Every structure is written in C-alpha cells, then in structure tokens.
A = this chain, B = another copy of it.
Amino acid sequence: MPYRIKEVADYVGISVRTLHHYDRAGLLKPGSVTASGYRLYTDSELEKLQQIMFFRELGFGLRQIKEILDSPGFDRMQALAAQKILLLEKEKRLEAIIGLVEQTLDAVKGGIAMNKKDMFRAFDMSEIEKHQEHYTEETRQKYGHTEAYKESQKKAASYKKEDWAAISARGAEIYQELADLMVLSPADPQVQQAIGAWRQHITDSYYNCTPEIFRGLGDLYVQDERFTASIDKTKPGLARFMSEAMHLYCDSIAKKGR
C-alpha cells in the first residue's frame, strides 16, 4: 500500500529530487519513514500532492502553497473551486495570446506593421495575479479575525479529516440552495428557512452562533470584500442577498423574543 519515493515520482511525473525538496520545505512530508530512512507515501499524500500540483500549475510559490494547505480552515472543495476559476482565467489569457499570434501572422503575411498597443497587451498577468492574491489573502485572513472565528478555530482543530469534507459539503449545499432562491425576496419564508439552516450549520460545525453574532456575520458578508468575493463565487450577488436575509432573520427572532 505505501509507495516508495521513485514510484510516486514516476507516477506523478516529477523527480525524486522534487519530492526531497518538498519534504525539506515541509510542503509534503512522507506519511511514514522506514527504519533505514526510506520515505513512504500513502494515498493521502498523493491527494495532497495533487493539490500541490494544481497550485503549482497556477504559478503559486511553494511557500504560498504551504501556507494555504497548512491553514487551519483549508477547504479542499473551496480550493478546487478557486483553482478552477484561476485555471479558466489562465485559459483566457492563453487564448488572447493565441489570438495575438494569429493577428501577427496575418500582419506579417500582409506585410503590414502591427498596432504597437496590441503587441503586448495579451501577455498581461495582472488579472491572474489579482485572483491569486485574492485567494491567498482570503485563506490567510479567514480565521483569527473576529471573536467568533477564534472560537471556530479552536473547535475546528478537533475535527478529523473526514468531518471537514462533510461540513464543507453541507455548507456548499446551503449556499447553492440560497443561490437558487435569489429570485425570491429575502423575506420569503423559503429563504428564511434556508437562512435558519445556515445558522444551524454554523452552530453545529463551528461555534454557538447567537443572533447577535449572526447579524454581525451578515454585515461582514458585505463589508469584507474577501467574504463577498468568496460567497459570490457560488453566485454573484449572493453575499448581499444573504446579508439582507440574515438581518431580517435576526429581526424576526428579536421580535419573537419580546
């Protein structure tokens, strides 16, 4: 079941040296080591290695990748979603460059000079870098920000790997449900019920989410662009929609309480 280093290297298409390097960098340590010092990798490490490959493909530095993967709230699904967006962004750039080559070919064929302004625009990376920065900053700042999040961090530390998958899957489920309900008013009973499920999910998975905290969280969704961007990935405008719905939800709880 455990693979030796060359098996992994051949399998993945990288060098043994690279795995040594990742080990020393703390990016990917072998699952175990034999008495004689041989590194042994398991499927779990292969999975992590795949994540690393995705990030590397996107031009992330090993340092950054380590930081992201080591982040306590690292969510594989969310990472994959972000990676997909970034890869599509990269494809867009590539296509622009291909278009530029074709344009240049035509210009050379026709013996005419190209418009200097267009000659290099396609090489621009700022769009991709923006997305990269966004994602890194998001995972970096996601935790240790508010009181509630500190609490969540502690609770989160106790979860096993399998739990995380279930939790984030449930989260994505609710996001999607709410995204589908965006055609309705935030006050609509269906929406309010989904919001209730959202609060329950937070309480179950992270921390006791009181109405006060929940209201503050709603504010955060529109005030902190990191949250806005993250939530709007499911569907643009979802963050604002949820924020309003959460406020109405808290209002109605307050009313009932009196």
A→B interface (CB under 8 Å): 11-13, 43, 46-47, 50, 53-54, 57, 76-77, 80-81, 83-84, 87-88, 90-91, 94-95, 97-98, 101-102, 104-105, 108-109, 111, 113, 116, 119-120, 123-125, 162, 165-166, 169, 172
Contact = CB atoms under 8 A, between A and B. Distances in A.
B108 A83 contact: no
Report copies per complex.
2
B105 A80 contact: yes
A169 B109 CA distance: 6
Contacts of A95: 91
Given A13-B120, A109-B165, 8 more contacts: A12-B123, A50-B104, A50-B119, A53-B123, A84-B98, A91-B91, A91-B98, A111-B166
A143 B245 CA distance: 71
Instruction: Name the 5 nearest CB pairs between A and B, nearest first.
Output: A80-B105, A12-B120, A84-B101, A87-B98, A91-B94
A83 B57 contact: no
Contacts of A108: 76-77, 80, 165, 169
A119 B46 contact: yes
B101 A165 contact: no
A88 B109 CA distance: 20
